[in-house]
A and B are shown apart, each in its own frame.
Chain A
């Protein structure tokens, strides 16, 4: 399965990619919303993880565009940080499926991804 990750800070992007690859996913990492939209067309990801604050097309715009497309039903997880509680609410209103705060708990990320992709997890940790 392929996951698209849109995150403008390179280290955070590397970190998320590393974790997801270790979980066995194909990962496409992009640094902004514009690249994300292109990748959605070419790679047809099964899930999108997106930051909110990004240059060019923001995370919220990305969610809005993806969710208003009747054809694609791609689950979206929003990455949020401090001071972004309002924007998380907005993200949900636009159709986001889940959110995770940065810095993220690696296990939590894995569990939330698998939940949205309906992949059974070994429930050894509850958080």
Chain B
């Protein structure tokens, strides 16, 4: 399935470069080999690629930074597969969080690389085809409301998201504290407040959970479900925070 596909490779080790190139040729692809993240980005800007194979550990600009640049600055949804030696714990999670679609562990064979590529290319179309929706299969951040009310003003959107990221942790903590104290009236109010924020920057999974928390706290029903719902809110928010602060991290000029 890689026949005639154009693949960009970022790999700093000369021997590994040869292995990757050889493997890709065997799979029928054409390969452009680069030695670091910056070079890969330059090449990427000037040609269309069907796939990127990204080494993680590279000098100057590593695989995560290069991926982030491709996703956020170049706004590309090109499939990116990490080539990782899995030296560190949590590296697989970090791959997905930084915007990669999959990984293959080194050393790989023609078969293992082929399988990783097949898996990534066969995956359902990324939600990123809608520019207002960020996230992955576990998390959906819907910014369409924000774009609508701001009239597509990127700078203002940036400001609003910064405000959101500043305020949400305290709002979520209040929800958590009110649950701990089993103060249902207070929990209704704190969930209601958090819901307001989440209806502007809509993290679907968190929003849905908060609605349930608000409803059950108000009517004092299904109280046994609340701890799990609050846990979902906390965990999913952490993931969303990473994605949002990566994409909207830079300060904005006009505000």
Task: Give A residues with C-beta under 8 Å from B.
Answer: 7-12, 14-16, 18-19, 22, 53, 81-83, 102-103, 106
Contacts and interface: CB of A to CB of B under 8 A. Distances in A.
19 contacts: A8-B193, A9-B193, A11-B160, A11-B164, A11-B196, A15-B146, A15-B200, A18-B150, A18-B153, A18-B156, A22-B151, A53-B189, A81-B196, A82-B192, A83-B188, A83-B215, A102-B196, A103-B145, A103-B199
A82 B214 contact: yes
B80 to A, nearest CB: 32
Contacts of B153: 18
Interface string B126-166: 00000000000000000001101111010010001001100
A53 B192 contact: yes
Nearest to A16: B149
B29 interface: no
B226 to A, nearest CB: 16
A111 B164 CA distance: 27
A100 to B, nearest CB: 13
Contact of B196 (A12, A18, A19, A106): A12
Contacts of A16: 149
A9 B146 CA distance: 15
A12 B192 contact: no
A103 B149 contact: no
B196 to A, nearest CB: 4
A12 B218 contact: no
A10 B193 CA distance: 10
Nearest to B201: A11
Contacts of B196: 7, 9, 11-12, 81, 102
Given A81-B192, A82-B211, A11 B148 contact: no
Contacts of A19: 149
A35 to B, nearest CB: 17
A10 B199 contact: no
B34 interface: no
Interface residues of B, number: 28
B102 to A, nearest CB: 35
Nearest to B159: A14
Nearest to B197: A11
Contacts of B145: 15, 103, 106
Contacts of B156: 18
For B146, B189, B196, the residue with the greatest tally of chain A CB atoms inside 10 Å of its CB is B196
Q: Give 9 closest A-B pairs by Cβ, nearest first.
A: A103-B199, A9-B196, A19-B149, A12-B196, A11-B200, A11-B197, A83-B218, A15-B200, A22-B151
B195 A15 contact: no
B149 A18 contact: yes
A12 B149 contact: no
Nearest to A19: B149
B204 to A, nearest CB: 12
B195 A81 contact: yes
Contacts of B189: 53
B167 interface: yes
A18 B202 CA distance: 17
Contacts of B149: 15-16, 18-19, 22, 106
Interface in B166-197: 167, 188-189, 192-193, 195-197
